[in-house]
Amino acid sequence: RTLADAPRELALPAEAPAAVPAQRGRRAAGVVEFVLDERLHADVDRLARTTGTSMFMVLHAALATLLTGHGAGTDLPIGTMVAGRGDDQLADLVGCFLNTVVLRTDTAGDPSFAELLTRVRETTLSALDQQDVPFDEVVGAAGLRPEGPQVMVVHHEQADLERLQGGVGDLVAVPTGATRAELTLSFYEPRGEGPVHCGLIHALDRLGPAKARRLAEELQTLLRTVADDAGQRLSQLSGVTHKRSENA
């Protein structure tokens, strides 16, 4: 019911398509890497705490705001990945149990960013209650794109390194050069203080590197703005990011 009549195609930011070959059923991809410095991380974390949300929800809401401002509409099915290990018996098993969950994000009515965060929190928690339903079944029941959502937000926790016994390691993002989604915001959240390493993965037949870099810059500008004042409406925030992009 939640995903009934969700749009199958979003009018995402785009450039003239590039002639790039697909890779084993996936689309050739580029990635723009950027970092939310320690101060911005602290500011966003403070916003999350004061609104009863999380870093994931703030970045999710920021991306939705950015897409609405670029003409993608106000009804945005945004996907995320879950570990698929909700059952304790799966904790120590080797294998891939990942599942895709669709978060239908509503930016209609020009809400404030704080109001959008409330919507995103409710949507996320409700969707995660159903995270064990296989994505293929959701596609069949709701008529979604079988290849997956056009837009994804993927959260990684660096705390997983603590499971390495007797060793020292670091997380390194290794671009595969391919993607199913047209646009993916992937980020690594440290435990405690420190920078947040992000990547904006984009299908090259939809979005070129220059446009993707501008979107990454706009996203960072937007995060700084809402961390200072989450009471601004989305239309005001779109003006801030677009002006920043033009000046760049």
Residues in the chain: 248
pTM of the model: 0.87
pLDDT beyond 70 at 18: no
Hey, what's the torsion of the CAs at 86, 103, 4, 110, to 10 degrees?
150
Pick the CATH number of 27-159+173-247 from 3.40.50.1980, 3.40.50.720, 3.30.559.30, 3.40.50.2300: 3.30.559.30
For residues 13-26, average pLDDT:
65
Residue pointed to by tokens 């890497």: 33
φ and ψ at 11, to 5 degrees? -85, 75
Q: How far apart are the first and last CA of the chain?
A: 43
pLDDT band at 169 (very low <50, low <70, confident <90, very high): low
